[in-house]
Structure 1
């Protein structure tokens, strides 16, 4: 087994629009280092420097207040501020720059008790298990490992995949009685995951094919985040590198 590694989660928050992080999310992520990205998406005709001059003081104050909430919960937290024309590109870039393992897309979370973990393949299962174990620390969250098989002939392979994931979770300290497993057969994996997520409070999904040529949110995880009302944790591919995006104005680090 490879040695343990540190983990970090990026949480983008549009504080200027009044977006907040629900208390259950703060509590669940208190045990893992967090990067708070205070961002605001601006029109193409507005320069980031112009938006920063106009809204910077207010946004920094709101971001600092949110940072204090995480600090009070015992979280190791840092923060960044960005005014951007493309929020998804900014999420991708900051995740790479700050070596974040996952990105949390906020949605309402009045309670947080159960987690649906959608797995497609055994790529980075050990890596995902370690991150989940870190998130589960000091919580009573229960997990459902979930796989969508294309047809009945693939069901056995899906069951084996989830057993592998269960074993990895147990190896890193997650109690077996906190883990459930479900394999379904459906020719529309995204729809099946969205349907299953309705019975859970948090969805965890990996990138479809982790590689240096793919970026966060450009695959199934992006569509899931748009179609489910649950918070969504998108686990990055371990070797993701930033694309050659058009230059953006530097963020402010705090």
Structure 2
């Protein structure tokens, strides 16, 4: 098994649009390093630099307050960045690579955060996903359910084996077996079924499975899930993402800075 390391989560927040990080989420993610990304989507006809001149100080003030909340909750490694962009999801992806974040949290309200649904697509990156989950649930009472959707009954056994493997990986990083459950569904639409089941949980986690669908997940599935579920959604990046991929998306023309 790979040596354990610190895992980092990017949390984009449209502070000028009224977004905030629920205290339940702050408490749950205080056990891992986080990067708070204060962002603002600007119209195509507005240059990011122009938006920065107009709004940066307001975004900074709001973001500093969120950072303080994380620090008060015990988060020992929290940093901030500010971005003005024309394409938020593309920017999230690029900044995640630049800041070496393992996951991107798409924030939704979370009045209670006790249970986590982890949608598993394949056995790719199971160990990596388990390591981040293990770091996340450490020091919390969060229960984890691995969930897999198969297209027909003939794949049920393979899906069950996949879920068993996911449980084994999470136990291997120190999570008690009695905090981990599994669920399998046979359905033609994974996204629809994930949404149906996610309504019974407080946090939805989706993992990327292979490079060829990276953009599909970030631009479509994660966007759809975040828009249609009332829960926060954590997208766990694959280890295969490289900086070269981020450089391609930098052409969106956004402007950003690092916190001092």
Is TM (by shorter chain) over 0.5? yes
Change (3 A) 1:240 1:200: same
Name 1:42's counterpart in structure 2.
Answer: 42
CA contact (8 A) 2:85 2:252 kept: no
How far apart are residue 250 of structure 1 and its match?
Answer: 3.6
1:28 aligns with 2:58: no
1:94 aligns with 2:99: no
How far apart are residue 247 of structure 1 and its match?
Answer: 5.0
Query: What SS does structure 1 have at the residue aligned with 2:218?
Result: coil
CA displacement 1:118-150 (0-9 Å, x = unmatched): 001100000000000000011100011101111
Name 2:7's counterpart in structure 1.
Answer: 7
How many pairs align? 253
CA contact (8 A) 1:210 1:238 kept: no
Higher relative contact order (CA 8 A, sep 6+): 2
Alignment of 1:1-254 (within 5 A): 1-75=1-75, 76-207=77-208, 209-211=209-211, 214-215=214-215, 217-241=218-242, 242-243=245-246, 244-245=248-249, 246-254=251-259
Name the structure with the higher helix share: 2
Cα distance between partner residues in 1 of 2:223 and 2:129: 18
Structure 1: tracts of 5 or more residues without a match: none
How far apart are residue 46 of structure 1 and its match?
Answer: 0.9
How far apart are residue 224 of structure 1 and its match?
Answer: 1.7
How far apart are residue 213 of structure 1 and its match?
Answer: 7.3
Structure 2: tracts of 5 or more residues without a match: none
After TM superposition, what 4+ stretches of structure 1 lie above 6 angstroms from structure 2? none
Query: What SS does structure 1 have at the residue aligned with 2:219?
Result: coil
TM-score (norm 2): 0.94
CA contact (8 A) 2:84 2:255 kept: no
Segment drifting more, 241-250 vs 84-93: 241-250
Query: What SS does structure 1 have at the residue aligned with 2:239?
Result: coil
Query: What SS does structure 2 have at the residue aligned with 1:143?
Result: strand
CA displacement 1:201-220 (0-9 Å, x = unmatched): 0000012x431773351353
TM-score (norm 1): 0.96
Query: What SS does structure 2 have at the residue aligned with 1:220?
Result: helix
CA contact (8 A) 1:210 1:236 kept: no
